[in-house]
Homo-oligomer: A and B are copies of this chain.
Amino acid sequence: MNAEQAVAELKARDREIYLLNHCSAILGWDQETYLPEKGVDERAEQLAFLRKLNHERETDPAVADLLASAGADDGNPMGVASLPPLDRAFLRVRWRDYQHATRLPTELVVKIASVTSKARSAWVDARRDSSFKKFQPHLEEIVELLLEVADRLGYVDHPYDALLDQYEPWAKTAEITAVFDDLRARLVPLVRRICDAPPIDASFLSGKFPVDKQRAFSERVLAKLGFETGRGRLDVSEHPFTTTLGLDDVRITTRFNEQFFNSAVFGTIHEAGHAFYEMGFNRDFAGTRLADSISLGIHESQSRFWENVVGRGRAFWSHFYPALRDQFPERLGSVSEEEFYRAINIVEPSLIRVEADEVTYCLHIILRFNLEKALVSRALSVKDLPEAWREQSREMLGVVPETEADGVLQDIHWSMGAFGYFPTYALGNLYAAQFTTALKSDIPDFDAKIGAGEFAPILSWLRSKIHLHGNSKTANELCEDITGSSLSSDFFVEYLTEKYTDVYGLR
């Protein structure tokens, strides 16, 4: 079998995996939205069964033979040079996924599932009692298992590379460390300057915002942004998410808090950003794993772009605020557009990551990234984690949690063994800012377009530059193709400095 035939066969085999992934997504979506309470157990069995069918196909030894026939191996995952570029890009992803799916022995996967399952409930208890001690032995076991995972997956420089690569393919710890160190060095003084400025009043964002009106407003925003309801839906779930159930079926969820305006609207815009990405893959990729996102970081760049760069921008609200005020006259009737704009951009160093603003958010991430790296390199032992957390929090955010529940125990990720996941959130912000610079140079009247409610040119730019390429580029290739350089914190720092100098009247 020659390389072309091997690629064709691998693509044909992708079709069943593609359909199974979407079937699982349908079951998963239903589970978070409409599943009756007692249906949970069998749903877990159904999902496990589909996962098994998928795993059989992902790890079929015939795939290894086909990859070999196409010339894809450790030293050259893209296969023989004579293949068309998109086929080589496909091989690179297929090769990588095969390694990830086959390098961990089944016993290790089962062990991790069992340990993290217990760790998750231990974490719930520990957090409730604000007692890290209850979680410590579980986390110690997880760190040991993750070191074995790293060994099995393989790495050159740092065991954390192997873990990070699961969520941010091809990313390297050293590169991210350099970017984050630089970011931190410039963010901390910016946060200080903001904290020294007169505080902003955002009290009117709390109070009664009737859910049906929030929903109507969210749907209005979605429609205006270009969310195609013939190809997607908005539903309600406890934790907002985006999921792809089919080529033309991408669904988002949000959650409504009657007492706080921000949750639903900004959550909806955030998820819409994810959905636009999933809706925009080249249709020629359908049925193969090229019809997928590049990484969590790039995915997050799309949600953060729409939520923060667009949705928390002045131009956005110059377009939407009059309609919003009409919807909620009791809360916003006497609030000016400027007051509203400043309030939704309030910056406050706080303890809890998920409530953080866009300036301090990355500091929460860098803190976790540093601790994860230290644990994995054995520079820090699990028992010393709470103290290390407090120290870093003091240094970076200037606040120290009084309880472990508000500190080291606040996130679920570690109990799931998801080391390497956190950095992708910050990468999203950085990529979003870097892409925005390129976008604005192509669309110089960016703000005027948004102010006029014309989002189509922006979405169309993202489609052609990012979405369309699916998983055919690496994050770094994409970034260089669009911006001419690798990831840098410059763009994000510049974006924040300019925006918050204005919002807080700094200088």
Chain A residues within 8 Å of B, Cβ to Cβ = 16, 19-20, 22-23, 26-27, 30, 34-39, 41-43, 45-46, 49-50, 53, 228-233, 235, 245-249, 251
Contact = CB atoms under 8 A, between A and B. Distances in A.
A46 B233 contact: no
9 contacts: A30-B245, A34-B233, A36-B229, A36-B230, A38-B231, A39-B231, A39-B245, A46-B246, A53-B53
Given A16-B49, A49-B16, A249 B23 contact: no
A381 to B, nearest CB: 44
Nearest to A49: B19
A249 B27 contact: no
Nearest to A23: B46
Main secondary structure of the interface of A (DSSP, over half): helix
A246 B46 CA distance: 9
Contacts of A45: 19
B46 A22 contact: yes
Contacts of A248: 36, 38-39, 41-42
A35 B22 CA distance: 13
A34 B230 CA distance: 11
B49 A249 contact: no
Contacts of A22: 42, 46
Contacts of A23: 23, 27, 46, 49-50
A233 B35 CA distance: 8
Nearest to A232: B36
A383 to B, nearest CB: 42
A37 B246 contact: no
A45 B286 CA distance: 13
Contacts of A49: 16, 19-20, 23
Contact of A42 (B38, B50, B233, B247): B247
A246 B37 CA distance: 12
B36 A233 contact: yes
Given A36-B231, A233-B36, A19 B41 contact: no
A26 B29 CA distance: 11
A30 B230 CA distance: 15
A448 to B, nearest CB: 32
A418 to B, nearest CB: 27
Nearest to A31: B26
A282 to B, nearest CB: 16
Nearest to A246: B42
Q: Closest 10 CB pairs between A and B?
A: A39-B249, A42-B246, A38-B248, A37-B230, A19-B49, A38-B230, A38-B231, A39-B246, A42-B247, A39-B248
B43 A246 contact: yes
A249 B19 contact: no
A39 B26 CA distance: 12
Contacts of A228: 38
A56 to B, nearest CB: 11
A53 B57 CA distance: 13
A392 to B, nearest CB: 44
Contacts of A233: 34, 36
Nearest to A38: B248
Given A23-B27, A36-B249, A39-B231, 7 more contacts: A22-B42, A26-B26, A37-B230, A38-B231, A39-B246, A39-B249, A42-B248
A34 B231 CA distance: 11
A435 to B, nearest CB: 28
Contact of A35 (B38, B50, B247, B249): B249
A30 B22 CA distance: 13
